[in-house]
Structure 1
């Protein structure tokens, strides 16, 4: 295990980078979907509903295989897509569907009088959403966002099924060469565990900060 640790640690930046990139993409897409759902924009609302239903209702692994193995058959441009890009695309769309519903709930949780006050001073729905509602919803959503990032980070382990040599892929190769499966996968598990524990502390800090703001306490 001591010998495997530095080998697998070399792939931590790739694993973390995939998670960060997917999280950013998912958050942007989730915000767009949530706004469409809240404002009930014709046609777009129905399309967003189908998107969310599909990506919430099918396994992530199936979606990854669709993007990497299936799409190139239908769309020739996807032949050039590599495993990392396919994995990040799958993670982005999958978690955007879940985050959109959570963010929609946070938006709907903002007091209705905020909308009425904005309308009273002549703001459009778009201005109200951008300047008043979304900033308040973001503070409520922040702790949950860390939880989603943890899920994305752990889900990057599925990228090895697309031939990506990230932490799980590196452990698989080391185990196949040495037949030390227990040691290889235990090292990976410990590394993921440490990263998740660090992120859990960040989440706890954000929750305390949100509670202080909600109760009018001092800033953290």
Structure 2
């Protein structure tokens, strides 16, 4: 069978129509993962060996096992042990599973970015009369953001691509629709060509957003910060 460009044009809107589901999973999971990451950042400050060991196990587990296995374990495995998981929809399971997986990467990106800020920045902020929380919010995090944006963007792109396995839980997203159209028409190459094109365009747009954010933050850096006297 030859490549049918006409069929590509025909199915492109059909597959593109499910991009909203893919993006919804990605943004919901990314938001939850960011919240978990900041909780981890706070917990890292606690000097407790048991707590730190649990946090390290969490990171090792979600970074050391395939995301599709984690989704199966969450959706099918835990349902056998805990009845509450039997009522969990495939969409919810995908969001929860991808959130937990992504947080294992994002938390380390944020922690590394915060540690890149010199400790004297905290000392200077406290000397100006600010509280620890105010220094973190107004001094440390803005500087860490410049360092974290590239890695967090890569983490989010990885999360976006990981949503392609959500179809194994019955979620009707871009990948699921592509698989269904390919199976019904036997035009697998054309269908997956459309899917890969959509994913590529979306990730390219995210990279452009990353570049814009980095430029905005660089402008703020050039303008300088406020002194204690202000």
Q: Same fold (TM over 0.5)?
A: yes
The answer on whether the counterparts of 2:113 and 2:147 sit within 8 Å (CA) in structure 1 is yes
Provide structure 2 residue ranges, at least 5 long, that are not aligned to the other structure: 1-7, 225-230
Q: 1:121, CA displacement in angstroms?
A: 5.2
Provide structure 1 residue ranges, at least 5 long, that are not aligned to the other structure: none
Cross-structure match for 2:35: 28
1:198 maps onto 2:205 in alignment: yes
Matches within 5 A, 1:1-220: 1-37=8-44, 39-42=45-48, 43-120=50-127, 125-216=132-223
Q: TM-score, normalised by structure 1?
A: 0.89
Q: 1:215, CA displacement in angstroms?
A: 4.5
Whichever of the two has the greater Rg, that structure is: 2
Q: 1:164, CA displacement in angstroms?
A: 1.0
Q: 1:46, CA displacement in angstroms?
A: 2.6
Q: What is the SS of the residue equivalent to 2:9?
A: coil
The answer on whether the counterparts of 1:35 and 1:104 sit within 8 Å (CA) in structure 2 is no
Q: TM-score, normalised by structure 2?
A: 0.86
The answer on whether the counterparts of 1:11 and 1:167 sit within 8 Å (CA) in structure 2 is yes
The answer on whether the counterparts of 1:103 and 1:141 sit within 8 Å (CA) in structure 2 is yes
Q: What is the SS of the residue equivalent to 2:161?
A: helix
* Structure 1 vs Structure 2 CA RMSD: 2.0
- C-alpha separation in 1, matches of 2:46 and 2:146: 23
